[in-house]
Amino acid sequence: MFLTDQDGRPVQLRATYSPSHPWQFPGGTMDDGEEPLQTALRECHEETGLMVKGPLRLLASVFTPPGGSWPYGTVGWVFDGGFLTPEEIRSITLDAEEHDDVRVLAVEDWQGLMPAQDFARLEAVMSARATGTAQQITWGWGDA
């Protein structure tokens, strides 16, 4: 789920389980019987305590080929969770087993905090929101 503050600055969570890809959008894997948007809404609520209003439009599909210790290709979807008020940002409650920090930064300030491919994904999602055209992203496990 892609979220920003009212000034359009991305909101990201620092994952405790992924030191090589620390800053992430709220999200996760599907439960049996779920559809992608249901998963995004549930995972966002579990990871932040927020019930987002959207517009909930599709911003990107993300394909990850097999790599590293992961033997399967995966596909994910990024939905637009909308703009958060300062009160909503302050109300974010993290699941300490998954995330230990939340930050709201200008896009350029994220670049030094994440691998190049993660930053490219962030820029693609920002572009999708700005243009209204969903992006197709290929994201790998390496640093390329």
What string of DSSP letters covers 36-78? Answer: HHHHHHHHHHHHH---------EEEEEEE--BTTB-S-EEEEE
pLDDT 10s digits, 88-120: 999 999 999 999 999 999 999 999 999 999 999
Question: What is the chain's mean pLDDT, rounded?
Answer: 94
pLDDT at 27 over 90: yes
141 — pLDDT class (breaks 50, 70, 90): low
Q: How many CB atoms lie within 10 A of CB 116?
A: 10
**DSSP 8-state secondary structure symbol assigned to residue 24:** E
70 — pLDDT class (breaks 50, 70, 90): confident
pLDDT 10s digits, 32-57: 999 999 999 999 999 999 999 999 99
CA 77 to mean position of chain CA atoms: 9
Tokens 């405790």 correspond to 16
Instruction: State how far the alpha carbon of 43 is from the alpha carbons of 28, 111, 144, in Å.
Output: 6, 25, 27
How large is the average pLDDT for residues 118-131?
Answer: 97
pLDDT at 143 over 70: no
Phi then psi for 101, rounded to 5 degrees?
Answer: -160, 150
The reported pLDDT for the residue numbered 142 is: 59
71 — pLDDT class (breaks 50, 70, 90): confident
pTM over 0.85: yes
The reported pLDDT for the residue numbered 144 is: 39
> Using CA atoms, how far apart are residues 6 and 52, in angstroms rounded to an integer?
14
How large is the average pLDDT for residues 47-76?
Answer: 92
Q: How many CB atoms lie within 10 A of CB 38?
A: 12
